[in-house]
Structure 1
Amino acid sequence: MEEKVLAMESQAEALNQLTTDDLEGKFSLLESSSVDDDLASLKKELSGSALKGNLPPGRTTVSGTNAASPYQDTAIERELDELRSKVKDL
């Protein structure tokens, strides 16, 4: 009977050790993590991607004006120019 009790106690202790949170292990994982390095690389990537003064992709400047043109279609550009000239005449 005593052997059964000792076996059950040792089994319970082993299960307890396996199921408890290992705080030291978690802290060591956090310390070894390169979160700060990842953050620094992301900041560097973001700061270099958008240069100040550059237009976003897909926009060009129209010759003769400094306005940005979101359209590449010449028919649309002509129609817009006609509308602009009509507005100026008013």
Structure 2
Amino acid sequence: MVGKVNTSGALAAFEKMEEKVMAMESEADALNQLTSDDLEGKFALLEGTSVDEDLASLKNELSGSSKKGELPPGRTVVAKSPFRDMEIESELNELRRRASDY
């Protein structure tokens, strides 16, 4: 008779209780994070400066680093060409030369 005991109900109840405990722990962690002083400090830092001030400082940085209307430097040309066709390669080199003359 001992060998015929149904343990699936007990196992299901245990799993349900485990899920409840995990949910309660998650709620406690979330509440702890929301009420911590660290979060208040982060909000204070965010409220310390305005978006307009940050935007103006970024504009000043960008305007000081290059001439107005000048594009940023491009990528360097890789010596090893991905093209196997020499006609295309020579045409590309000619276009690059013309572009550098301007």
* Smaller-chain TM-score bracket: 0.3 to 0.5
> Structure with the greater relative contact order (CA < 8 A, sep ≥ 6): 1 or 2?
1
TM-score, structure 2 as length reference: 0.38
User: Which has the larger strand fraction?
Assistant: 1
- The structure having more radius of gyration, on CA atoms, is 1
Query: Higher helix fraction: Structure 1 or Structure 2?
Result: 2
